[in-house]
Amino acid sequence: MRFAADGVALVLELPEGSLPRVVHWGRDTGDLTDVDLTALGRVTSAPNAANGLDEPHRVAVLPEAWSGWTGTPGLAGHRLGRAWSPRFRPDQTASVVTTEGLGGSARVHATDVDAGLGLDLEIEMLPSGVVRLRAEVTNLEDAPYVVDGLHLALPVPGHADEVLDLAGRWAKERVPQRGPFRVGSHLREGRHGRTGADAVTVLLAGEAGFDFDRGEVWGLHVGFSGNHRSIAERVHTGERLLLGGELLLPGEVVLGGGESYVSPFVYASYGDGLDASAGRFHQLLRARESHPATPRPVVMNVWEAVYFDHELDTLRALADHAAEVGVERFVLDDGWFAGRRDDTAGLGDWSVSEAVWGGGRFGQLVEHVSALGMEFGLWFEPEMVSPDSDLAREHPEWMLQVPGRLPAPFRHQQVLDLTHDGAFRHVRDRMVALVREYGIRFVKWDHNRDLVDAGSTRTLRAGVHEQTLAAYRLMAEIRQACPELEIESCSSGGARVDLGILEHTDRVWASDCIDAHERQQIQRWTAQLLPPELVGSHVGAPEAHTTGRRLDLDFRAATALFGHFGIEWDLGAASQQERRELAAWIEFYKEHRELIHTGRVVRRSSEGGALWLHGAVAPDRTRALYSVTLLERPVTWPVARVRLAGLADDVVYRITPAGPALGEHTPDPKVLPAWWTPDGADLPGAVLSRVGVDVPALLPDHTALILVTRVDGTDDEAATERSGT
């Protein structure tokens, strides 16, 4: 069986009496007959040279120990020691749907009568070429069955010699790390109860030296916002697998008779180069019905402008400045609700603070913002509760805990157990009431602590699994009650960035660090999973609050440009000249956001990683916008020519300098290349992408923007003639 889409093929083997096995996942093989598929299975069956199994088996999508597999098992569980090694046998013909060139799906139902277990497997190739897997295990007996783990696997070939994933911490998320694909397990566990600032994001295996534009790569992502596991495993018999699934705490899932556990979706993307692999994830997300369909509005969040110091006149003045520079959405952050004068109290008491906002002042701020033509947004942290709050005092049993002790203090807050019906309804009803009363259009949904010792007083079990599902349900019910509301996933910055949370939200906050130098890397690698329109990217103050680094406005704005653009800066402290320059950048963003938010992302680096290219190329390749950023001083000077990736070879393009920082430049051979004029230069895409262009002599932490547009009159016939010459 072969599924194919967008140049990728997934070839499955459905052996009688065994679970599905992957024969090939990667570059499309072209059409295969049944005879071809049989022959492919034979030529990809390794000889039995390891002094092992008499009849070796290809590893199944759900690896099973009975087959001789000694790596990570697909299903780990037991009935007080029994049924610990199931053997599933499909009990009916697989349900297979294929759509020529757009992928397809296979659904397999299997049982192990002796173990008393049922299994349903879903294997899909989506039109983007992304493979999506999910499994459901059902207890067919009355006796309880403990699920310890459920992992799904895809093989990668022997020339996938390197592994790349991401690490990080608060305010420095998504730091790439790579190394050889060694024998053993490269195991990345997320035990934060949320995705984690150190999350692997996408676990990649590829050819040695793979880069953004070259080398086959295979990537896996676990689409879940709680504990999870990502594994790159190479065993002594030669198999190399990427596996993923939820990380279940001891006793967290115990199935009664007839009950089921459904794994999160595991997503997998193949590409020739990191950009191609990332592009499939972007295509998948952009094809969703729930994907934002309107232009992404310019956001102003007031957190770094005022912190907890909320005062009506100050915020009205900030709103005036925001409207003046072109902001379209004004967001009031933490500190607006009862008892919340700092971060030690008040979470859970979701009512407007009378001490700060009494006398109708909160409504006056909302009306002022709306009168300026901006949407009003508000910060919540719905899954958390302060021990110093009315809610915690009234319902101490609503805090996740091991009976008899609260979890270790973390940001002066605990986790509200949303599996308690009363807690769930309290948050849902308060949020819905506030959204409706004040016409709130946007919620910054924060999540500021790890789920440590996260037990339920309701079940006395570990509660991360159920809490994660309850959080999804809470978001879904609020969105259903308030269909025009947009939600941002923020979690101490970028600690909840995954495809599970994005089923319920409209963007993520990539990091609490908006230092543009740091953000270059954070956004560059967030793009391995998410397209820019889903990633909040703001212009901060001249001196970054998290690092103390001082950067000029043009660099800060050019960095924020390639995301969902916003501001996190006290504009009252900015000069009139700074506000004028910011307004020009906002106008530039509005002019080009459609291109940035629908275009194909391209990334390159040169000069030993000192010079970075980032670009957005229109789907029809008629336009492109590139940023060229110097992050460090290179060994030689000036830098080498930059090749503009992603353009059509036979189309003539005009390249011009771009951005508000351009001004009226007179070419200075010490700083600017000869073409760096408003007229630019006209060249075929083949020249721009293979020969490249010289760029300005940038100082570190500075960016130049290049706009590329198809020259009028260039058509396919002319392109063909040019190609012929």
pLDDT of residue 723: 42
| 230-271 pLDDT, tens digit each | 999 999 989 999 999 999 999 999 999 999 999 999 999 999
- Residues contacting 153, CB < 8 A, separation 6+: 59, 60, 61, 62, 63, 72, 74, 241, 242, 243
Question: Would residue 446 show up in a list of annotated catalytic residues for this protein?
Answer: yes
Tokens found for residue 496: 């909840």
Residue 53 has pLDDT above 90, yes or no: no
pLDDT of residue 359: 94
Mean pLDDT of 32-61: 79
Q: Distance between CA 567 and CA 298 in Å, rounded?
A: 8
Q: Distance between CA 219 and CA 589 in Å, rounded?
A: 31
- Least confident residue range of 21-25, 31-35, 106-110, 341-345: 31-35
| 376-399 pLDDT, tens digit each | 999 999 999 999 999 999 999 999
pLDDT of residue 714: 55
Question: Would residue 512 show up in a list of annotated catalytic residues for this protein?
Answer: yes
- Least confident residue range of 57-61, 376-380, 412-416: 57-61
Task: Give the global pTM.
Answer: 0.96
The more confidently predicted of residues 647 and 664 is: 647
pLDDT of residue 55: 74
Q: Which residue has the tokens 């089923």?
A: 503
Mean pLDDT of 393-411: 95
Q: 423 φ, ψ to 5°?
A: -65, -45
Catalytic member of 161, 512, 554, 701: 512
pLDDT of residue 50: 66
Mean pLDDT of 299-311: 98
Cβ 660 vs Cβ 585: under 8 Å: yes
pLDDT of residue 663: 54
With cut-offs at 50, 70 and 90, classify the pLDDT of residue 96.
Answer: confident
Cβ 562 vs Cβ 598: under 8 Å: no
With cut-offs at 50, 70 and 90, classify the pLDDT of residue 721.
Answer: very low
pLDDT of residue 82: 95
Q: Distance between CA 51 and CA 533 in Å, rounded?
A: 53
Catalytic member of 161, 198, 417, 446: 446
Mean pLDDT of 127-148: 98
| 436-466 pLDDT, tens digit each | 999 999 999 999 999 999 999 999 999 999 9
| 420-429 pLDDT, tens digit each | 999 999 999 9
| 355-381 pLDDT, tens digit each | 999 999 999 999 999 999 999 999 999
Residue 500 has pLDDT above 60, yes or no: yes
Distances (CA, A) of 674 to 57, 669, 670, 695: 63, 7, 10, 9
| 515-544 pLDDT, tens digit each | 999 999 999 999 999 999 999 999 999 999
